[in-house]
Structure formats: structure tokens, C-alpha cells
Chain A
Amino acid sequence: MKTVGFRSIVLYLLLAVLAGGAGYLIVNLFFHGSQWAMQPYNGHIYAEDATVKLGEIEDRDGLLLAATGEEGRYYNDSETVRKAMLHTVGDPYGMISTSVEHTMSSRLSGYNFFTGLNRTVFSQMGTDVTLSLDAGACTAAYEAMNGHNGAVFVYNYNTGEVLCKVSAPTYDPENVPEDIEENDAYRGAYLDNSLSASFTPGSIMKVVTAAAAMEKWPDSWMDRVYSCEGAEELGGDQITCLHSEAHGEQDLSSAMGNSCNLYFAKLANDVGAEALQKKAEEMGFNSELHMGSIPISKSEIDLSSCNRNQLGWAGVGQYTILANPYHMAVLMGAIARGGEYTEPVLTRNQDLFSGLTGGKSHQLCTAKEAQNLRSLLRNNVENYYGDWMFPEGMSVCAKTGTGEVGEGKAPNCWMIGFCDSEEYPYAFAVMAEEGTGGVESAGTVVSAVLQALK
């Protein structure tokens, strides 16, 4: 019997499987439990008679944006506020996965590993969230978008606090349109365009091309001169400036102000595809950025197989290049701060220690390049767009862009930039689809937001 007894040790294998599996389950539950619990189908949170009462969401001035009452979740009284802040705050059905209600649902619901979704004294403490956003700025941006689809992202580049984030198309979470799934006007309405989408950048890409030139010729970049006839053949095909306007002899500074395509097309060719690709990647293209736990859609660039003409178009933000509004805003924030940006956050006083540790920083360019780019961008506003269009004393530095999308559609109109001001440390990126021009369609939005933030 001794032998049989000894052989029964094989049962410990099974016991090990049981213990291992149970341990794995507990560990997984510990790390992912809040994600698992916060699913849109979870009856404890979303059913009519749900036990869980999600906490309140307020804007930076204490304006109530969302709360739970007897009849479930309700949102701000104003329809415009609801629409402007939909993608930030969220919807009652958990469709907008980048919203605060979705990404911070475990905090709003008071979930924790030990008591789950039970309502206890502990879970009811601190379930409310105060956003860093300004509802006034968001509605101003939404209204200034004037029905265009697109994205607005404005944040404080010193603290990282996001002040304004709007995405269109949007809808009213209190009255979800019945045809939301079929109607083309709502296509992509669940997506936050500022975080989860990338668009053809157009001329805002010239900031990157200029940075690549600064890296290649650190001492002589400002002296490079190219001539512009409005249209020219390059690499077997045409490169044209907007409206075929001939800019004549241009240096980098004036070409940036005039947004001269030919200058930057030639510059891109002299920099070379490899160097431009490398610089763009250093500046955040092709990398997976995050805002807290939210993954950001990549800005994309791939110059590995382009010819001279395509490289020329790439230098002015066409070809296959895509840019993400959040990325453009933090790029501007980095330039404003000497090359490093503070990662944006959506909430204030998230925890006791956030003030001590500070936001995460990421380097996108060198301090020297940041300084040079800042003076180029300031020159754009001072001498080309006009300071009159922005509130006084904000010392705005900016670049516009019109990304051609083809298919007979009007271009993506961009304005990216920042205020070179201690009092107003704001960086911004605005993109309006099917607009008329950078200044006309996006600049007015920037202006409205800055006015609201003043």
C-alpha cells in the first residue's frame, strides 16, 4: 500500500491547478476588477433600480454637469452644455469610452476590490469628481464651431489642466437621437475627435518640417532661401501654393507666415525623408500617447517609400500624414515650455499627492528648437494673422493649416498654438472639418475660447 500511497501524490498536481487558478483569478480581479465591473451592461450600475449611485461631476467652477437622482443619471440643465461636454462627461449608456463617466467609473461608483459595488460608508466618500474644464469655454467653443465637425482641445501647459475639450458631431445625452446609428450626421458621434481620431494636418505640419531644418542646419536654417512662383514641378509633378499665389524669394520666417508650400516642399527635400521622419517621430508622431489611462489615436507619418514630389507634399502636411488634435496641442505646450510638455489631466485635486508629484512630463524637442519655433509662431500672429483677432495681452503664437482631404470635400481647417504669457498659459489645437480656411474656421474658435477663458 506504501507504493499506492506514494503515487497518490499525483493528486497534488490537481490541487496546484486549483490553487494556481484561484490565485490567478484573485490577482487578476485585484488589478482589473474595476474595469470588469464597470461594463455598460452591468445591471448594478445601469439598471433602472440600480443599487449604485454614481457620484456627481462638476466643472472647475462647481457647475453641476452630471448627477444621479431618483430616476437615474441626469446632466446639466442646458442642452448646449450637455452637447459641448458630452465627450468629456459621458453618456448614461457608457457608449463614449473616453469619457470621465467611463474611465473614472470605478471612482464615481465607489467601487473597490473588497466591497465591490456595495454602498458603504467608505465607498460613498469621494465619489464626486471635479473637472478641470471650464463649461463656459466649452460652450463657447461648441458654438464657435458653428455646426462644423471637428475637435477643440485647450489646456494649461504649466499645470496640465484641460480647460476646454469639445468634439463634434455630438448629441444630447438626455435625448439620444433615435436615428443615431443610421443617420450619417451622427457618424463617429461616440468618438472623441480630439483624442481618438487623426486628421490630415496640412500646413500645421510646417512646424515639424521647420524643426527638422533647425536640427539639420542649427546655425544657418534662418538663412535658407527658396523662391516661389506659386506653382512648380517637383519630382515629376506639381507643387502648388494656396490659390497659386507666388510668394517670391522666401526665408523660413516669411515662408511660415505666408504658409508657402513651395518653400517647405523644397526644404523637406533638402532635409531628406529620413531626417524628416526621424524628427517627426521625436516630436510624437507614430508614438502611442496617453492622457492618464486614455490611449490617444496616433499621429502618423511614413516617408519610407515616397518620391520627391510626395516628400514635398509631406513637408506641407499632405501625402499620407495624419495628426491628432491632442498631440498637436501638447506639441504646442512643449514648445511653450521649452521642449517638454506636462501631460494633460481632466480633473482637479485628483488625490492628495497630485500636487506634490506633479504631472508627467515628456520631451518633444530641444529647448533651443522650442525657442526658435516660438519666435516663428509669434511672428505668424504678430505680422500675418493679426493680434486683433485674439483677446488683448495674450501674445498668441500660432500656425494655421488647411488639410486637403479630396473627395470633393472642403479642407480640414486647423489652428494650433499657445499664449506666450505667464498669466494665460494656454496651449490649443482646433480642427474644423469642411471649413473655409485656418483663420476663418479655426481661428475664430480659438478666439472665442480664449475670450471665454480670459
Chain B
Amino acid sequence: MEMIQEFLQSGFLPTALLIVRAVVPVLALYVVWRSYTSFQKGQRRRDPVVVLWDEGSNARLPVLYWENSIGRSKSCDVYLPDASVSRDHAVLMRRDEGWVICDTDSKSGVFVNGKKVQDRKLLKIGDKITLGSTTLSLWNSDAQPQRSRKAFTGFSKNAASPFKLMFVASLVHFLMAVQSCFQNGGFAPDKFIPFLTVLLMGWGLYVISVGVLKRVSFEIETIAYLLSGIGINLLAASDPDAARTQIVAMAMGMVLFSLLIWFMNDMERVAKLRLWIGLGALGLLMLTLVIGTEVYGAKGWILLGPLSVQPSEFVKIAFIFVGTSTLDRLQTQKNIWEFLIFTGACMGCLALMNDFGTALIFFACFLIIAFMRSGSVRTIALVLVGAALCVFLILKFKPHVIARFAVWGNAWSDAYGDGFQQTRTLTYIASGGMFGMGLGQGYLCNMFASDSDLVFGMLCEEQGLALGMTVLLALGILILYARSDVTRSRSTFFSIASCAAAGMLVFQACLNVFGPTDILPFTGVTLPFLSAGGSSMMGVWGLMAFLKASDERTYAARRASRRGASSNRKTPDPARKGSAGRRGAAHSGSMEDIYS
């Protein structure tokens, strides 16, 4: 103890802590980067699993995805240059029970072994599928696995083990906790409590996911764990009460995350409940409007005894459920009116709550989903014109909103008025430099909303711009996760959902970070994972479930244990279907397993 005292008074401590702060972003960057490259390396190659054999032309058409559109349109996954085939004639989908063909309102219909398909039909290997005047038969593929065509695959050939990444992420948290306990030149071991709690929760999830559920990938959870822990350790230094709330919210968020992944396993269940989810979300928003409480100008809170809940954070999840769709539904229901009306209703409620920031996030998410569903630039343009009209009307009837825009870009000319928050944020970000002034040594934390709207400034002031940028990278890279799963997921439902979730999180991060730094107008939204706010923390973990569900490996372990897989995968041989030989999902839940 004496030695510690001596050490603290030697004047060496500030330098030691500065070095610790310089190490933290390096480790965090390692986790962020390696998580992504490992995630990518663990993915299956893009090899065909089954082929469709066109008897007429003797062509072999590879089937590459879980859901494949078949038609005369060149954009179809399986393109049939046959005038009697409709543009989007049918969808060939892989479901738990096997390959399913689905007629998507074609003119001439789909026939399997000569019988007309009503809605959908489960296929067997060797079945003859007739579309127009083309007849295809389904066979297993004997193609050799292709070599990866990627030129740059990160700096390492192999994927990092999930354990190692979790370990380094925990090390980041540990180094933050060390700073926290040495702040103000004393030694306060109780500052380790938030760190230990987060550690326990993170590794708990790890053990359940990797140990019990035998999932092979843990990268997405690692990123969420890393970011949540950074946020909680940051908060713990200046506001232990907020950190406690945050820890509880993180635990609940993890439960929500797991529940959603379980829920999305069964596509039928999701399809059945989609309508109810949408209605429930709208109901929740309206309920908030009626019994909600106004907190700092926005009537977005429901008080349940000691708990205050912000329903809009959960409606974000429901919003994606309502918006996204499987490929067969996309083909048969091309218009997005239903979703547009739902969006309008949600945004209307949020506008009435005076929560324009969240309304804007919903709108951005709507644009992403609408574009991914329709691909129509015209629709998007039309919606944007409509939105511009709405903005014009809002500005006309709520002129105080303009005041927020007036200071945009001119914060320094009104540093003691409307530019107060922006100038303080910039001043303290600059003060922190690359490595920060030290955990709990900031001044921004004394400001109103510093731990939510201005949390990026607080992070940079205390831990440095380097860590701030690493956090932004971690959030931005979510888009790459979503993108790399987009044609590998089990359905367009998951592809669109994960893209929407990633887009929503990144858009929210942009608003939160660039608002107080005077690059965008100040809207006052939370930074995913870092801002104090229980509902926000839970909601963000919920959104991460979409990214996780989009990764086909998430459900592979369970499936692998349920069905047999053979080592022999040669030319069409329907007799082999279901032959024995068990294979776990050692490398990945590869699609190759299913029909061998």
C-alpha cells in the first residue's frame, strides 16, 4: 500500500496514464478490424449448391443463393431467355424442410412434374420444373470450390479466434477501469465494479453462444460488447448512477438480442406475426402520445414506477420487421404503399412528441428499405419531394425549429447563445487531443446532456480523438458486415433487415457526432451503445440481432445437428438424399450441407 502511495505521488502517474490512454485506441482498433476480417474469412464461398438443368438447351444454371428469382428479366438470379416466361416468374427458396418453388404471379404458371403449383411446393432432387416452355430439373452441384478472388484479405490469412478478440476487448475495458480507479491521484478499487459487471455479462454471452449453442462466429457480439463497455466505463467515471442503469440495460439488451435471434429462426412465425408487430408498435407510439411524459421538450417517455422507458427506441426494431420482406413477397407485392403509410404514421407520432431527431432516423431507414425493396430511384425521388413538402409545412407552423438551423455552421459567432453546446464540444474535443485528458478529468461532463447528445465530445475529451474515431469506425463497419451478408443470408428478409439496422445505426451516429461538432444541424439523438439511456442501449442491442440473424452461420449449428450430411457430393443422384454421416458446423454453416 505504501508503495502505491509513493508511486502516486512521484509525478509519474500522469505520464503512465497518458501511455495507457494511448494504448486503449490501438487495442480497440485491433478488435474492430480483426473482428471484421475474421467475420469475412469465416463466411462460406460463393459456390453453387444445387443446379438447375435446362433439358432443352442442356445448360446448367447454378443456384447461388438461399432465395433465387427465376424469370425472363436479366436481373433475375436464374435468367431464362424464353419469351413465354414472365419477367419475375418464380422464386426458388431454401427453407428448413428443403428447396421450395414459389409461383410469383406468373402468367403461365409453374408446373412441377406436370402438376400446376398453387402458391408453393417443396421440391425433391430430380423434380422437373416447367416455366413457360422451359423445363428445368433440380440437381446437386458437383462444381469444384472456387478460389477466393479477393486481392486484399486483411493483414492476416487466418481468422482470429473469438476468444482472443473478446479477450482484447476486455483488455480495453480493463485499461479504462485502471484509469478510472487512479483518477484524481488516488486509488479507488471500487471503480472496478462496473468493469467486472460488464466483463461477466460479456463472457456470459460468450459462453452461452459459443459453448452451449455452438455458434461459430462471435464477431458482432464482440463489437457490441466492446462499444457497450467503452460507454459504461466512460459514464462510470463521472456518473456512477447512469452507469448502473446502463449496465442493467445492457443485460436486458443482451436478452432482447438473444430472444430476437430465436424469434427470427422460424420464418413462418415472423411472417405470421409481422402485422401484429406493426400494429403493436403503432399502438405503443400512440399510447406514449396519450400517457407519455415530457422530458426535456420531447414527450417520448412512459414512466413505469421508477423506470422511464422511451418506446420509440423499441419501435425502431418493429419498424424494420414491418419494412423488410422475403423475396417471394417482394416479387408479388411490388408497391411499398403499405410500408409508406406505416412510416408516415410512425413519423407523425414522433413529430407530435416533438422528437424530430428520431423521426429523421425513421425516415432515413425508410429510404434504405424502400430502395432495397423497389430499386426505383423514381419512387425515392417522389418520397423525397413529399418529405421536402412536409419539412416546409413543419417550418411554416413550427418556426422555432428554424432557430436550430440558424446557428448551424455559425456556432462560433454565438458561442454563449445558440452555439453554446457546439462550441463547448469542439473546445473540449480539441483540448483532449489524440489521447484525451484522462477519464473523469473532463469538463464537458458538467454540461447538460453531455452523456447523451454530447457523448462523443465527452469521449474525445477524456479518452482522445483516436478512440473516438475507432468507435466511429466500429459503427461504420457495421455497414460492411451487413453488406457482406446481403447475398449470403437465409432470405432477403434478413438482408434488408440487417442493411436497414446498420444504416439506421450509422445514420444515428452521424447525427449524434456531427450535430454537436457543427457539421450537421444539432438534433439531439443518442450515439449507439455509448449514450446514457436504458431504452437506447436495449434498442441498439435489439438492432444488432438483425445483423446477427442475417449471418447464415447463426442458425447453422442447430440445423447441422438436426440433419445428416454426406461427404459425397457428386453429380445428380437423388438416391443419396438424406444419407448418413454427421458433420458439425466446424468451418461454417455452409449451404453445401443441406442437400448432399
Q: Is B564 an interface residue (CB 8 A)?
A: no
Instruction: For chain B, residues 462 to 518, give those with C-beta under 8 angstroms from any C-beta of chain A.
Output: 464-465, 469, 472, 475-476, 479-480, 482-483, 486-487, 492, 495-496, 499, 502-503, 506-507, 509-510, 513-514, 517
Which residues of A lie under 8 Å from residue B424 when comparing CB positions? 41
Look across to chain A and name the residue whose beta carbon is closest to the beta carbon of B502: A11
> Which of B236-244, B312-320, B433-441 binds A?
B433-441
Q: How far is the CA of A314 from the CA of B568 in the complex (A)?
A: 104
Q: Determine whether the beta carbon of A4 is less than 8 Å from that of B495.
A: yes
* A7 contacts B by Cβ under 8 Å: yes
Chain A residue with the shortest CB-CB distance to B496: A4
The verdict on A95 contacting chain B, using a C-beta distance below 8 Å, is no
Interface stretch, picked from A111-119, A145-153, A305-313, is: A111-119
Question: Nearest Cβ distance between residue B523 and chain A, in whole angstroms?
Answer: 14
Which residues of chain A come closer than 8 Å to B513, judged between CB atoms?
21-22, 25
CB distance A21 to B469 under 8 Å? no
Q: In whole angstroms, how far apart are the Cα atoms of A12 and B368 in the complex?
A: 11
Inter-chain CA distance A51–B434, complex, in Å, is 17
**A26: B residues at CB distance < 8 A:** 465, 469
Task: Answer whether residue B18 sits at the interface, using C-beta atoms and an 8 A cutoff.
Answer: yes
Known: A18-B476, A118-B433, A118-B435. A5 touches B486 (CB 8 A): yes
User: Which single residue of chain A is at the shortest CB-CB distance from B469?
Assistant: A22
Query: Are A37 and B427 neighbours in the complex by a CB distance under 8 Å?
Result: yes
A93 proximal to B (CB < 8 A) = no
B510 engages A33 (CB within 8 Å): no
Q: Are A11 and B479 in contact (CB under 8 A)?
A: yes
Query: Using a CB-CB cutoff of 8 Å, which residues 29-73 of chain A contact chain B?
Result: 29, 32-34, 36-37, 39, 41-44, 47, 51
B271 to chain A, nearest CB (A): 17
Chain B residue at minimum C-beta to C-beta distance from A109: B431
Give the distance in Å from the alpha carbon of A162 to the alpha carbon of B523 in the complex. 48
The reply on B520 being an interface residue by CB < 8 A is yes
Query: Is A3 on the interface with B (CB-CB < 8 A)?
Result: yes
A357 at the interface (CB under 8 A from B): no
Which chain B residue has the least Cβ–Cβ distance from A123? B433
**Complex formed: what's the CA distance from A3 to B64 in Å?**
13
CA distance A32 to B427 in the complex (A): 10
A8 contact from B76, B330, B486, B510, Cβ within 8 A: B486
Q: How far in angstroms is the closest Cβ of chain B from A411? A: 36
- Asked if A3 and B69 make an inter-chain contact with CB atoms under 8 angstroms apart, the answer reads yes
Tell yes or no: B7 within 8 A of A by CB: no
Write out the residue numbers on chain A whose beta carbons fall within 8 Å of the beta carbon of B483: 8-9, 11
A11→B368 contact, CB < 8 A: yes
In the assembled complex, the Cα of A119 lies from the Cα of B17 at a distance in Å of 12
Cα(A115)–Cα(B466), bound, Å:
11
In whole angstroms, how far apart are the Cα atoms of A51 and B415 in the complex? 23
**When each residue 1-21 of chain A gets 1 if its CB lies under 8 Å from chain B and 0 otherwise, what string results?**
111110111111011011101
Is there an interface contact between A117 and B427, defined as CB atoms closer than 8 Å?
Answer: no
**Interface assignment of A24: CB less than 8 Å from any CB of chain B:** yes
B144 part of interface (Cβ distance < 8 Å): no
Residue of A nearest to B415 (CB): A39
Is the C-beta of B68 less than 8 angstroms from some C-beta in chain A?
A: yes
Contacts A11-B483, A15-B506; is A4 near B327 (CB within 8 Å)?
A: yes
A102 CA / B437 CA spacing, docked (Å): 22
Closest to A1 in B: B65
Q: Which of B465, B492, B507 contacts A4 (CB 8 A)?
A: B492
Contacts of B499 in A (CB 8 A): 8, 11
- Which residues of the partner chain B approach A117 to less than 8 Å between Cβ atoms? 431-433, 437
User: Does A8 contact B506, Cβ atoms closer than 8 Å?
Assistant: no
- CB-contact partner of A36 in B426, B479, B486, B492, under 8 A: B426
* Contacts A2-B76, A14-B510, A36-B427 supplied; 19 other A-B pairs, CB < 8 Å: A2-B64, A2-B69, A3-B75, A3-B77, A4-B496, A7-B375, A8-B483, A8-B499, A10-B371, A12-B479, A18-B472, A22-B513, A25-B514, A37-B430, A41-B424, A42-B428, A44-B431, A118-B433, A119-B14
Nearest first, the 3 closest Cβ-Cβ pairs linking A and B are A116-B433, A43-B443, A5-B487
Q: List 21 A-B contacts (CB under 8 A).
A: A2-B64, A2-B76, A3-B69, A3-B77, A3-B375, A7-B372, A10-B368, A14-B479, A18-B476, A21-B514, A21-B519, A22-B472, A29-B429, A29-B465, A37-B431, A44-B437, A115-B18, A115-B433, A116-B436, A117-B432, A118-B18
B residues near A, CB below 8 A?
Answer: 14-15, 18, 64-69, 75-77, 327, 330, 364, 368, 371-372, 375, 415, 423-424, 426-437, 441, 443, 464-465, 469, 472, 475-476, 479-480, 482-483, 486-487, 492, 495-496, 499, 502-503, 506-507, 509-510, 513-514, 517, 519-520
